[in-house]
Each structure stands twice: as C-alpha cells, then as structure tokens.
Amino acid sequence: MIKPGNTRSQMRKGILEYCILSIIDGQDEAYASDIIENMKQAKMVVVEGTLYPLLNRMKKSELLDYKWRESPSGPPRKYYTLTGKGKEFLSDLEASWNDIKNAVEQLTENKTKK
C-alpha cells in the first residue's frame, strides 16, 4: 500500500532544485544556512545532508558558481550564485512548475464541481 508520506516525500524531492535555485536567484547570492532558513520559513525543511549534495551537483552541472567570503565569526563561507545556464534552467523549471500547477488546479477544480 502506498502511504501519503512517501508520496509527499517524492513530491518534495522533485521540487527542491527549483526552490533552491529560486532562493539563490532572489538573493543574488546565498550562503547554505540562508537557503536552509528560507526553506524552513516556507515549511520546506531541508537538512545540510540533503542540501550540500544538491548544491555540489548543481555546481558540477554549471548551474551554480560560488565565491569564498571571510566570515565575521569563523572560517570563510561559500556564497552561491546562479550562472547564465542556471538562470536559463530556473526559467525552464518555472515554466514547468506553472504548467503542472495549472493542470493540477484544473483537475482538482473539476473534481469539486461534480
């Protein structure tokens, strides 16, 4: 039997890249803890063990770049920015998300009209 929690988890995994890229784009650059905090505020909790592999994969795919910056409290921090390719990818993800969202809204509206 499929459990709602499993489906919800798969749905979240499918949109994490979109959310992360949107956060970075909205801030022009972002430190990993900024990304985690934004996700928490949106109730899309993500842990470092999930975030860092995604950031690394997106860096290897040339969607992200980063700069090291000195920190006022501790070691230097890595700040992520979107590359040109990352901005194009984000734009494609936004279009896909809007298509999916509209389709789901249409399907669920039809259900409630019956």
DSSP per-residue letters across 92-105: HHHHHHHHHHHHHH
Is this structure's pTM higher than 0.75?
yes
Tokens describing residue 17: 């890249």
Summarised one tens digit per residue, pLDDT across range 58-88 is 999 999 999 999 988 889 999 999 999 999 9
Q: pLDDT band at residue 113, thresholds of 50, 70 and 90?
A: low
Summarised one tens digit per residue, pLDDT across range 7-27 is 888 888 889 999 999 999 999
Per the structure, how many domains does the chain have?
A: 1
Number of residues that this document lists for the chain: 114
Tokens describing residue 16: 């994490």
Assess whether pLDDT exceeds 70 at residue 114: no
List the one residue out of 6, 38, 3, 2 whose CA is nearest residue 19.
38
**Strand bridging mode 30-31 / 64-69:** unpaired
Q: In this structure, which amino acid lies at residue 40?
A: K
Q: Residue 105 belongs to what domain range?
A: 4-113
Summarised one tens digit per residue, pLDDT across range 84-107 is 999 999 999 999 999 999 999 999
CATH number at residue 32: 1.10.10.10
